[in-house]
């Protein structure tokens, strides 16, 4: 196993950006310290042919031109906060409105658009960023550390840690778009979610605060199901999201590693299992991709990629019935997500 570091470009303010390659056997992961972006994951198919299974670009300049969070670390609060505001300890905090009236993925300049300090620790890449008090409206100076690790068996893990000097809210995730067939759409992929319940959302994709059973709905992925089977049904959640874009509650005890999702492409034979400590997972089918973005020789068309964002629930700061996303001084935020790849 090894990590290679090389230049990836320069930001408009003159700071240099690097690209890191983590290699282990037939699995290779590339990531940059700009936004913590995972630019490439290469794994074999059932015939042993190596393919890149994630959306991304070849150059830093293409990322700087704007993209829908391809491969990015997302924070300080991943997903949406309704009304771009929340109240903590009797104080109301107003956030950047970058999704209609709501705040999405940390605001206009979230963690996906900052340069992280990078260190190589053996076979792990450690990224650090200090988000200052008041950045994008969030209280407290938040020190975040994210570690990418690829072990001898080709298992890729992301570990999130954070601490604060003032009560705040935090929800970190990664927003990689996967396509196990390395092209085309993902409607033929089979998905299984280890989830009996989901949190329905309204037209603005803000949770209603309810928790509903997946039984008898288009949200039921407890058994392997083709993603395209119900995606265009008249289910209210699918209409609101223009496809799948919702939070599922992962079975089992939050805080402990347990399986959240399994996705398989029958054509290539590739499969991926997602294991996490997080309480929820956002399954998104790239509904707003429109073919205007191109990278690595591909056109990123609608539903050409799927996201499995392990997370705290959307709008948790405004939903007292949801697991708390509050972090206080002296406490440690610590979550982990593991990706295991298979072929054949």
Distance CA 205, CA 145 (A): 29
> Is the preceding omega at residue 9 within 30 degrees of 0, hence cis?
no
What number of residues does the chain have?
A: 344
Distance CA 136, CA 263 (A): 35
Task: Please give the radius of gyration of the chain, using alpha carbons only, rounded to the nearest integer.
Answer: 19
Tokens of 85: 């505001």
Side-chain-side CA neighbours of residue 249 (13 Å): 18
Distance CA 269, CA 52 (A): 14
**Helices then strands (H, E): number in the chain?**
2, 29
- The pLDDT tens digits of the residues spanning 293-339 come to 999 999 999 999 999 999 999 999 999 999 999 999 999 999 999 99
User: Is 287 exposed, middle or buried, given 0-12, 13-18 or 19+ CB atoms closer than 10 A?
Assistant: middle
CA angle 268-273-276, nearest 5°?
155
pTM score over 0.85: yes
Q: Is the pLDDT of residue 123 over 90?
A: no
User: How large a percentage of the chain has pLDDT more than 70?
Assistant: 100
Instruction: Give the end-to-end CA distance of the chain in Å, rounded to a whole number.
Output: 24
How many Cβ atoms are within 10 Å of 130's Cβ, its own excluded? 12
The DSSP letter of residue 82 is: G
Tokens of 311: 């997370």
Annotate 90-144 with DSSP letters as a single string. Answer: TEEEE----BTTBEETTSTT-GGGSBPEEEEETTEEEEEEEE-TTGGG--S-EEE
- The pLDDT tens digits of the residues spanning 130-182 come to 999 999 999 999 999 999 999 989 999 999 999 999 999 999 999 999 999 99
Long-range Cβ contacts of 234-240 (<8 Å, 24+ apart): 236/200, 237/198, 237/200, 237/201, 240/201, 240/202, 240/203, 240/205
Annotate 218-264 with DSSP letters as a single string. Answer: TT--SS-EETTSSTTS--HHHHHHTS-EEEEEPSS-TTS-EEEEEEE
- The pLDDT tens digits of the residues spanning 18-39 come to 999 999 989 999 999 999 999 9
Q: Which residues are catalytic?
A: 175, 309
Q: Which residue segments constitute the domains of the chain, with CATH numbers given?
A: 1-344 (2.70.98.10)
Q: In what order do the strands lie in the sheet with 270-276?
A: 117-121, 124-131, 142-150, 156-164, 333-343, 270-276, 258-264, 190-193, 225-226
User: How large a percentage of the chain has pLDDT more than 90?
Assistant: 98
């Amino acid at each position: 196993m090894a990590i290679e570091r090389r230049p990836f470009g320069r930001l408009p303010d003159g700071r240099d950006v690097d690209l890191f390659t983590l290699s282990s056997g037939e699995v290779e992961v590339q990531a940059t310290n700009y936004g913590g972006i995972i630019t490439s994951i290469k794994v074999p198919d059932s015939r042993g042919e190596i393919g890149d299974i994630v959306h991304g670009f070849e150059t830093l300049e293409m990322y700087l031109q704007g993209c829908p969070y391809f491969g990015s670390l997302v924070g300080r609060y991943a997903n949406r906060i309704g009304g771009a505001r929340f109240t903590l300890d009797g104080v109301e905090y107003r956030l950047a409105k970058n999704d209609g009236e709501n705040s999405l993925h940390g605001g206009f300049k979230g963690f996906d658009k900052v340069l992280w300090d990078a260190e190589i620790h053996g076979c792990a890449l450690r990224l650090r960023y200090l988000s200052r008090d008041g950045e994008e409206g969030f209280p407290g100076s938040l020190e975040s550390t994210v570690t990418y690790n690829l072990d001898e068996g080709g298992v890729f893990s992301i570990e999130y840690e954070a601490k604060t000097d003032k009560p705040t809210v935090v929800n970190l995730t990664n927003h990689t778009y996967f396509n196990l067939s390395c092209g085309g759409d993902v409607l033929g992929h089979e998905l299984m979610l280890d989830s009996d319940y989901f949190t329905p959302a309204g037209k603005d994709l803000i949770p209603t605060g309810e928790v509903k059973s997946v039984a008898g709905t288009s949200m039921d992925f407890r058994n392997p199901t083709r993603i395209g089977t119900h995606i265009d049904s008249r289910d209210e959640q699918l209409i609101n999201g223009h496809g799948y874009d919702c939070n599922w509650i992962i079975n089992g005890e939050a805080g402990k590693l347990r399986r959240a999702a399994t996705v398989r492409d029958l054509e290539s034979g590739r499969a991926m299992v997602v294991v996490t400590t997080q309480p929820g997972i956002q399954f998104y089918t790239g509904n707003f991709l429109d073919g205007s973005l191109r990278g690595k020789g591909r056109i990123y068309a609608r539903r050409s990629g799927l996201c499995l964002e392990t997370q705290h629930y959307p709008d948790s700061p405004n939903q007292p019935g949801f697991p708390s996303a509050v972090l206080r001084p002296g406490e440690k935020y610590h979550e982990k997500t593991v990706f295991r790849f298979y072929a054949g």
